[in-house]
Structure 1
Amino acid sequence: MKISNAILLFTWLFSGHALSLSKNIDQSFLTPIKDLNNNQIDQFILGKSFFRIPWVESPTATTARDGLGPLFNSNTCVNCHSKNGRGKVYDHANVVDRSHVVRLSIPHNDTQAHKETIKKQGFIAEPTYGSQVSVNGVSGVPFEAKMEVSYTNINISYPDGSATTIQKPSLSLTNLGYGALHSQTITTSRIAPALVGLGLLEQITDKQILANEDIEDINGDGISGKANRVWSQETNREEIGRYTWKASAPTVRHQSANAAVNDMGLTNPLHSNENCTTKQVKCLKAPRGDYFEFDLTEPRLNAITFYLTHLVLPSSTKPANKGKRLFESTGCSSCHTPSYKLSSGKIINPYSDLLLHDMGRGLADGRQEFLALGSEWRTPPLWKTYRVSKILGKQKNFLHDGRARSVEEAVLWHGGEAGKAKALFMNLNQNKRSELLKFVNNL
């Protein structure tokens, strides 16, 4: 029986030598789904390689992975998604990690031009630095800025007399490479999300998502989730957003293309222009690769998308039923929708309605993304919380900017539509709170 090169390479990548390079690394989110045929295995491996192997700046001898920058944060996807898990605030040297990025925007001014930009892009970029700060530049191109984060402790007291602290972040930019920011700049940060079940989330239908919408809170429960309607460069029309912290991307391919241009400066079929603003002259004049039309070509973008949507969803631990009942009775499941039935008949448990909710002033960042307002966030899926936390180790980093060091801290930051659920949680006795948190931590 003839064994294809793909299968031989597959064997090398997922067993033996490849895995022995890091014996203690958790491999939960790195395995392909079962029953891929040979062509699909080839596509998976190709996508994995473009996801893992570093890109280099142009011009270079290689044409496979050149085109990095001119401005960028990282030279490979895995720098932000280590082991396909979530990003972190600091790296091992206590410097802000590359997976913790700064987004920039300014308020829209109600002009027709701004309205069109909001419709197609979702926000108004800062005029000099664009939509995201790049902490690196290729040769001859100054980086944009460096980021610093500090925290202030806030004491929290429970009705039963126990106490804890949460930490409020303060974000600042230093070493601005292109002059002052716009006077009305909205600055916010984002932690790279874990790449968990992305292909399964894409199989949830728009109808299933919209069924949980209650924009006017007709049922009077204080929760008025809404879907984000975002512009798709692929279909040239509005689609339902389901990925990113504000549900601003409709598909995995769309979000992969966004990350390629924003994080690594890779032009692609959805973003044909370099991530330079008109005020960044050296960036605009930097050498370009001329072998392909885009740095990340259509087949390569498709391969990365295939890789991300065909990763296996690992099994969960079995959470305590008592904690699950408390999760439901306190109202957590009103937004963290436990399950969906896919068209294939498969039941999945992401624990998210994928809708936007007003989370109150404490979490508000002031940034609009399509229909998502400054205090609105997509309900983050909670599935595989245990495995994601295991990969991160001591840096648990919950919420959009990693401010919460535990699930408990994340709950205590809830406000707005989640204020009632937080109050019910806080009024539980310590044992019951622990049961509920154990349930979430073991998903």
Structure 2
Amino acid sequence: MNARRALPALAAALAGVGLLVAAASHADGGTADSADVRTGGDTTVWADGRNAFSFPLATLSDEERARFAVGNSFFRRNWVEAPASTKARDGLGPHFIARSCGGCHVQDGRGAPPELFKRIGPAGQEQPVALLMRLSVPGTPEAHAGVVPEPTYGDQFNNSAIPGVKPEGQVTIRQVPIRGRFADGTPYVLRKPLYGFKDLGYGPMRADVMASPRIAPQLAGVGLLEAIAERDILANAAEQAAAQGPIKGQPNRVWDAFAGEARVGRFGWKANVASLAHQTAGAFLGDIGITSSKHPQQACTGAQADCRTAVPGGHDGAPEIDDRTLGDVVFYQATLAPAARRRADDPQVQRGQVLFQQAQCAACHRPSYTTGEPPFPALASPKVVGQRIWPYTDLLLHDLGEALADGRPDFAASGRQWKTPPLWGVGLIRGVNGHQRLLHDGRADGVLEAILWHGGEAEASRQQVLKFSRRDRDALVKFVESL
């Protein structure tokens, strides 16, 4: 058997064993047929702990499980600099943030900002890996681009590089406390991160640079999100526009390189990506420095001569990742299963669900959809079609106020708008990744802090939560963490 297929086949068998364990655990719970417990419909897995985000859809065939395992291998394993004897994985850099997809999405989960003020030798503050910095400057983007890149450093800041190439520099982070009180007098402290750059490798950035931090989100269920019909996302916007009140979500229409046309965005913190295929190819280039047929040139700017002359991976002029392997990595992500809800019968969780509705959280975090067709069937499973799913998102952009604003537009998204993130799996992040950092840059330590950062269209909801008693606040958090 080909070595490329033998090890992933073993991994697929092991994943199957894990699913049997998870299913047995569910059978003991006796709530398999509850629609709002089966977050991904028939595709749902019953799992928690370290691997909760890493199981394949429960309905995959044996052949699909084998492909899932191949994609998993290339998602998790590190790429190496060229030239190397490892021909299938060479081409790292020249600039990069991580050496693998799994370097940011550890255990297919959520990244976190570096521990502030942690010192690691003479280099100073720990550098972010799962937190990247988007860059742009004011102006009119080129066709198919959502932003105008910063001339010297491009549209993403990379703080690592292969030998012989200068890193672009280092990210600095400091915090400013924001203090407040709930109506019952209980104090709280939010910590606002302030970002900067130092030790720039290629000279200063433009004075009008706009920088935006973005944390790596968890991936379970993204293939089901991709199968939500565009008409349903547009219907969300139409319903909100017709309703009274401040909630007025907007879709972001973005260029998709795989479709060859503009489509409604649904991935990325500003919904600036329409498909997993486009997202994955872009991340390979921007985060790891791996070229593909859609991105055949390295993202080196005119000021980065050492980057432009670095030895490429790939062979005979071919991209560093071939279409088949890239497709397997996309398929892997598209078939990661959402985990079933936990503690849905807990009276406090049920109380929290009532409060969730009362605070109008569901106006943006729409609970449920029935999925349609995936955009690229060859890169997904037909098992995602026709599933009743419970992701709790409208996939629209909302103005969340000045406190969360990054001031950086992206396609139709303004500098104050963010996409509503799905809430399924939020309560599992601590078990998978050992933290509970939420929002676009991980500034919120848990669900309640995330709510307190909301403003703009969500200010009225925030004000309601500020009036909740401690018991009700706890119930609201428990409900969200059960999803």
TM-score (norm 1): 0.92
The answer to whether the 8 A contact 1:215-1:226 is kept is no
- What is residue 243 of structure 1 aligned with on the other side? 267
Which one is further off, 373-382 or 94-103? 94-103
SS at match of 1:213: helix
Taking the TM superposition and a 5 Å limit, the aligned residue runs for 1:283-298 are 283-291=307-315, 293-298=318-323
1:106-133 CA-partner distances (Å, limit 9, x unpaired): 111xxxxx24x2x511011100000111
Counterpart check, 1:61 vs 2:61: no
1:19-75 CA-partner distances (Å, limit 9, x unpaired): xxxxx9711111112343343233212111110111011111221001111110111
How far apart, CA to CA, are the structure 1 residues paired with 2:49 and 2:464? 38
How far apart, CA to CA, are the structure 2 residues paired with 1:63 and 1:370? 37
Which one is further off, 122-131 or 283-292? 283-292
Q: 1:34 to 1:429 in 2, by over 3 A?
A: closer
How far apart, CA to CA, are the structure 2 residues paired with 1:252 and 1:335? 22
Taking the TM superposition and a 5 Å limit, the aligned residue runs for 1:78-227 are 78-90=102-114, 95-108=126-139, 114-115=140-141, 117=142, 119-214=143-238, 217-227=241-251
Q: 1:385 to 1:9 in 2, by over 3 A?
A: closer
How far apart, CA to CA, are the structure 2 residues paired with 1:282 and 1:58? 15
- What is residue 391 of structure 1 aligned with on the other side? 432
- What is residue 68 of structure 2 aligned with on the other side? 44
State the shift of 1:9 in Å: 4.8
SS at match of 2:177: strand
- What is residue 332 of structure 1 aligned with on the other side? 361
Taking the TM superposition and a 5 Å limit, the aligned residue runs for 1:340-355 are 340-343=369-372, 344-355=385-396
- What is residue 450 of structure 2 aligned with on the other side? 410
SS at match of 1:120: coil
2:81 is aligned with what amino acid?
E
The answer to whether the 8 A contact 2:95-2:162 is kept is yes
1:390-428 CA-partner distances (Å, limit 9, x unpaired): 2232x3211101111121111111011011111111122
SS at match of 1:130: coil
State the shift of 1:214 in Å: 4.1
Counterpart check, 1:272 vs 2:290: no
State the shift of 1:218 in Å: 3.4
Identity of aligned residues (%): 36
- What is residue 299 of structure 1 aligned with on the other side? 324
Counterpart check, 1:313 vs 2:338: yes
- What is residue 435 of structure 1 aligned with on the other side? 475
The answer to whether the 8 A contact 1:336-1:351 is kept is yes
1:285-320 CA-partner distances (Å, limit 9, x unpaired): 111124162112111110001101111221120342
1:66 is aligned with what amino acid?
D
How far apart, CA to CA, are the structure 2 residues paired with 1:193 and 1:7? 27
How far apart, CA to CA, are the structure 2 residues paired with 1:35 and 1:197? 13
Which one is further off, 281-290 or 126-135? 281-290
1:144-198 CA-partner distances (Å, limit 9, x unpaired): 0111211111111122222111111111111100000011001121110111201
How far apart, CA to CA, are the structure 2 residues paired with 1:50 and 1:276? 24
State the shift of 1:215 in Å: 9.3
The answer to whether the 8 A contact 1:7-1:38 is kept is no
State the shift of 1:357 in Å: 0.3
- Say which structure is richer in helix: 2
The answer to whether the 8 A contact 2:49-2:428 is kept is no
Query: Over the residues paired in the alignment, what is the CA RMSD in angstroms?
Result: 2.1
Q: 1:215 to 1:275 in 2, by over 3 A?
A: farther
Q: 1:216 to 1:331 in 2, by over 3 A?
A: closer
2:478 is aligned with what amino acid?
K
Q: 1:308 to 1:290 in 2, by over 3 A?
A: closer
How far apart, CA to CA, are the structure 1 residues paired with 2:390 and 2:330? 22
Counterpart check, 1:10 vs 2:35: no
- What is residue 412 of structure 2 aligned with on the other side? 371
Which one is further off, 430-439 or 175-184? 430-439
SS at match of 2:236: coil
The answer to whether the 8 A contact 1:191-1:401 is kept is yes
How far apart, CA to CA, are the structure 1 residues paired with 2:474 and 2:65? 43
How far apart, CA to CA, are the structure 2 residues paired with 1:389 and 1:121? 36
Q: 1:215 to 1:149 in 2, by over 3 A?
A: farther
- What is residue 255 of structure 2 aligned with on the other side? 231
State the shift of 1:260 in Å: 0.6
How far apart, CA to CA, are the structure 2 residues paired with 1:244 and 1:82? 17
How far apart, CA to CA, are the structure 1 residues paired with 2:11 and 2:353? 43
* Count of paired positions: 426
1:392 is aligned with what amino acid?
N
SS at match of 1:47: helix
How far apart, CA to CA, are the structure 1 residues paired with 2:248 and 2:180? 27
How far apart, CA to CA, are the structure 2 residues paired with 1:141 and 1:150? 28
Q: 1:369 to 1:172 in 2, by over 3 A?
A: same
